[in-house]
Structure 1
Amino acid sequence: MSATSSAKATRNAENRVVVSVKRLFAKESPDYVVMVAMVLFLVIFGLVMVLSSSFVGSALGNDGNFFATFFSQAIWVLVGVPGMLVISRLPPITFKRLAPTGFLLALLFQGLVFSSLGITSGGNTNWVRIAGLSGQPSELLKAALIVWMAAMLANRIDQIFDYRVLLRPLGLGVLLALIMVGLGNDLGTMGVMVMIALGIGFVAGIRLRHLALVVAGVAAAGALMAAFAASRMNRIVTWFSGCAEEDYLTGCWQTVHSTFALGSGGVLGVGLGNSRAKWSWLPEAETDFIFAIVGEELGLVGATLVIASFVVLAVSMVRLVRNQPDPFARFVTAGVMVWLIGQALINIAVVLELLPVLGVPLPFMSVGGSALVSSLAAMGVVMAVNRNGARSVSDYLSRSGSARR
């Protein structure tokens, strides 16, 4: 084959890929397209920042391999993004049918953290290691909880004001999920799951006084958990009272150095790859505190770009919720939005010292395969239930009922 014909074949293949992508989103609403675009942008931008923030720690912990962490995260991106697109093509009724089974399996998977496979890190027992791979089952549990709650509420939409419906089995299921995570001392994940439950409940129309009771109960439980965990209580106390000199090496180290990193970035930053904080000054620079590295290297401009991307993602998902007539699709979209946007707000607030350190990663950007894949899978479900031309769950059930009659 000549060089000319080879180049022509390559161009034809590239054109077919472009046409296929255009067809994939041709019939979708602008909000749908913007939502997907923001997710892909955050994933790609996050991968760049993972490379920049992790190469020092990666070299120290992997026999001089500067790119070990980056390559690991890149593999999860290559798994998660195609997985999201595949999930987005499934019929919405599939997720509703599998919701109970998926939630049960996620609870069982979460239970593995208390077995010999469980790993304790940072005072939390919320990891498992299987066949050399480690992950957080709670990330999968968040996604399963959303789909299960959406299915339960959609099935009981006419009984939404009956508190007995909220308690059995909805309330018991949510409580069980919270207990499973709480037993591992993961207060940050518990907080995110409570936000998810409250967000879906609010969109579903549950009475505010019932939601207020949930908030009060969870606040009391959270206070008790903090009181019986010395390290967590120390972080909360130092956050309230401010960092004294004797706290510098304990409860204040991360927050002080994240603030230093953000402050040193100025407007335009010190330049991509030029962070000083990642040279063992800021622990978890590529995970929970990656936003601090963004602010240091890319300055106020880069930090604002990240925040603006999450804001645009939130607005596009809110518009999808408001325009979605199907209850199941509406609740799923709302739940995933509250999860990802709420978690992003918590992460950024911790970096800005507006909240005590909670160990919550920044969605789509922080290092972590289980968190990334679970988030992208959840977005795939959102894409599926909001896809133009897909038969909604309500439509499917009404047609099935007509056929049986």
Structure 2
Amino acid sequence: MNVNSKKSNPNNANKKPLRLFSSSKKPRSTKSSRAYETFNENSHAFKQYVGIRSIFNPLWCLYGLRISVAMLSVFGLFMVFSSSSVTMITYGAGPWGSGISQLIYCIIGFIGYLIFSRLPVDFYKSKIIVIYAISVFMQFLTFVPGIRHEVNGNASWIKIGPFTMQPAEITKLAICIWLPMALILAKKAYERVQMRAYIPSVAALGVSLLLVVAGKDLGTALIILLIAVVAFYIGGFPTKWLVVALISASAAVLLLVVTSQNRMRRILATIHGCDAKSIKGVCFQAIHAQYAMASGGLMGVGIGNSREKWNYLPYAHNDFIFAIIGEEMGFFVASCVILLYIVIGWCLLTSALQSHSKFVSISLISIATWIVGQGLINILVVVQVLPVMGVPMPFISAGGSSLVMCLLSIGVADCFIRSNPYIKPSVNSSIKSVSSEDDNKR
């Protein structure tokens, strides 16, 4: 009886032991084990982002940022070609000239994006002095004879051989990196030395602003000032002194405005409207931008069919490219462009609020202020809510300096967002390697 009970059942001969399928079985390698554990943690963490809460998902924010930037950049290539073709022919160049240049800058920018997004966060923290020094040095070059280059009265450009660039764009990105770290260090020293802890940060910012203003680029200086104010506020700068600084900065801007007849005329025309004298003067661009927006209607006149780009609207492919978008593509596409900027701002802001690093949070919000704020100002100028300021539209306007630096800033933001432990690329690659091991076993 005992012997028969020990015989194996032939029906069970092909069955595998249950323990081989046990969930407690761990991968052979330690790296794979860590990847599985992290994957399970991530799956549990992402379960809270269901329904409308999906817009807060950090992984969605990362890909939403990437897709929005890519869409704006590619769309900008088509619009630069469309809006600049007539101007290029007028100057004796081929119609593709500006479009090809924009494509080259776009490729350079995306290569830089890939490089900047792969650098560790600690690299940016440790190089804030170098980053600031590079930005100041480049801005100083705008005062060097032989290198200094003036464009439409704006002397904040440099020209080295065939290459022309605007160092102020470098200053924008630099401030988004070095200023947050400087404010964090100052905040730590505030309890010991009070307001003296912020003197280096304020002085360094003042030098950057003075160099930009000295190049007669008030529009860019205002963008830099906007970024700095937001960074100081989030960084814990004393509110009382921040108000004092804002009043002082406003007084300085007012002084720069009243001492320039051209700036005063632009502001008065925006407030009181254009008269017969200003229609062919300071209001010329604004009036033709409104003509373009009005003629576009809901669906536009069709890409390439703009009338205003036929030398009626100056700088149609630069600062006023949004007017050509409204004319050729209509209100619907123009609204989609605005929506993409909103998505970029939302993704950066959400990622900043979810970060456990104060440096990452301030930097991401600073970049969001730069990209979204500058885009909003450009649009408000086109629709004549603000006076003409010479501020390009991020990712879309023609211009290598602006496009490349905007893409580099998104590379930095991409790096900072991926510092979130739930979406680190090293974890993703480990999970992929584990999945491939499982496929081989199967």
Q: 1:114 offset after TM fit, Å?
A: 1.4
Taking structure 2 as the reference length, the TM-score comes to 0.80
1:206-225 correspondence to structure 2 within 5 Å: 206-225=237-256
Q: What CA deviation, in whole Å up to 9, does each residue of 1:189-229 have, x standing for no partner?
A: 11100110011112222233322222211111111111222
Given candidates 139, 144, 148, the residue that maps to 2:169 is 139
Corresponding residue for 2:305?
274
1:358-397 correspondence to structure 2 within 5 Å: 358-388=389-419
1:193 partner amino acid: I
Given candidates 143, 147, 150, the residue that maps to 2:180 is 150
| 8 A Cα contact 1:267 1:299, kept in partner | yes
Given candidates 91, 104, 109, the residue that maps to 1:75 is 104
Matched, 1:30 2:60: yes
1:34-73 correspondence to structure 2 within 5 Å: 34-61=64-91, 63-73=92-102
Q: 1:122 offset after TM fit, Å?
A: 2.3
| 8 A Cα contact 2:209 2:224, kept in partner | yes
User: Residues of 2 paired with 1:273 and 1:362: CA distance?
Assistant: 19
Corresponding residue for 1:113?
142
Q: 1:267 offset after TM fit, Å?
A: 0.5
In structure 2, runs of 5+ residues without a counterpart are 1-42, 47-57, 423-442
2:69 partner amino acid: V
Matched, 1:87 2:116: yes
2:197 partner amino acid: V
Matched, 1:262 2:293: yes
Given candidates 111, 119, 125, the residue that maps to 2:155 is 125
| 8 A Cα contact 2:110 2:407, kept in partner | yes
Q: What CA deviation, in whole Å up to 9, does each residue of 1:253-309 have, x standing for no partner?
A: 000000010011000100111100100000010010000000001111011011111
In 2 relative to 1, CA 92–39 (structure 1 residues): closer, same or farther, beyond 3 Å?
same
User: Residues of 1 paired with 2:377 and 2:230: CA distance?
Assistant: 15
2:132 partner amino acid: F
Taking structure 1 as the reference length, the TM-score comes to 0.87
Q: 1:390 offset after TM fit, Å?
A: 7.1
Structure showing greater radius of gyration is: 2
Q: What is the identity percentage for the equivalent residue pairs of Structure 1 and Structure 2?
A: 33
User: Residues of 2 paired with 1:361 and 1:376: CA distance?
Assistant: 14
How many residue pairs match? The answer is 364
| 8 A Cα contact 2:190 2:196, kept in partner | no
| 8 A Cα contact 2:173 2:405, kept in partner | yes
User: Residues of 2 paired with 1:159 and 1:270: CA distance?
Assistant: 59
Matched, 1:181 2:212: yes
User: Residues of 2 paired with 1:64 and 1:103: CA distance?
Assistant: 38
| 8 A Cα contact 1:268 1:300, kept in partner | yes
Matched, 1:249 2:249: no
Q: 1:163 offset after TM fit, Å?
A: 2.6
User: Residues of 1 paired with 2:95 and 2:265: CA distance?
Assistant: 34
1:362 is paired with a residue of what secondary structure? coil
Corresponding residue for 1:333?
364
Given candidates 307, 329, 344, the residue that maps to 1:313 is 344
| 8 A Cα contact 1:77 1:373, kept in partner | yes
Q: 1:164 offset after TM fit, Å?
A: 2.3
1:41 partner amino acid: M
User: Residues of 1 paired with 2:416 and 2:85: CA distance?
Assistant: 39
| 8 A Cα contact 1:50 1:367, kept in partner | yes
User: Residues of 1 paired with 2:122 and 2:364: CA distance?
Assistant: 15
Q: 1:347 offset after TM fit, Å?
A: 0.3
Q: What CA deviation, in whole Å up to 9, does each residue of 1:301-335 have, x standing for no partner?
A: 01101111101111111101110110111111111
1:134 is paired with a residue of what secondary structure? strand
| 8 A Cα contact 2:76 2:395, kept in partner | yes
Matched, 1:233 2:268: no
User: Residues of 2 paired with 1:381 and 1:160: CA distance?
Assistant: 28
| 8 A Cα contact 1:196 1:335, kept in partner | yes
Q: 1:159 offset after TM fit, Å?
A: 4.3
2:215 is paired with a residue of what secondary structure? coil
User: Residues of 2 paired with 1:362 and 1:163: CA distance?
Assistant: 37
Q: What CA deviation, in whole Å up to 9, does each residue of 1:53-98 have, x standing for no partner?
A: 111111112x240000000000000110121012101111111111
User: Residues of 2 paired with 1:115 and 1:233: CA distance?
Assistant: 30
| 8 A Cα contact 2:293 2:324, kept in partner | yes
Q: 1:185 offset after TM fit, Å?
A: 1.3
Q: 1:110 offset after TM fit, Å?
A: 0.5
Corresponding residue for 1:165?
197
| 8 A Cα contact 2:112 2:408, kept in partner | yes
Corresponding residue for 2:39?
none
Corresponding residue for 2:20?
none
1:225 partner amino acid: L
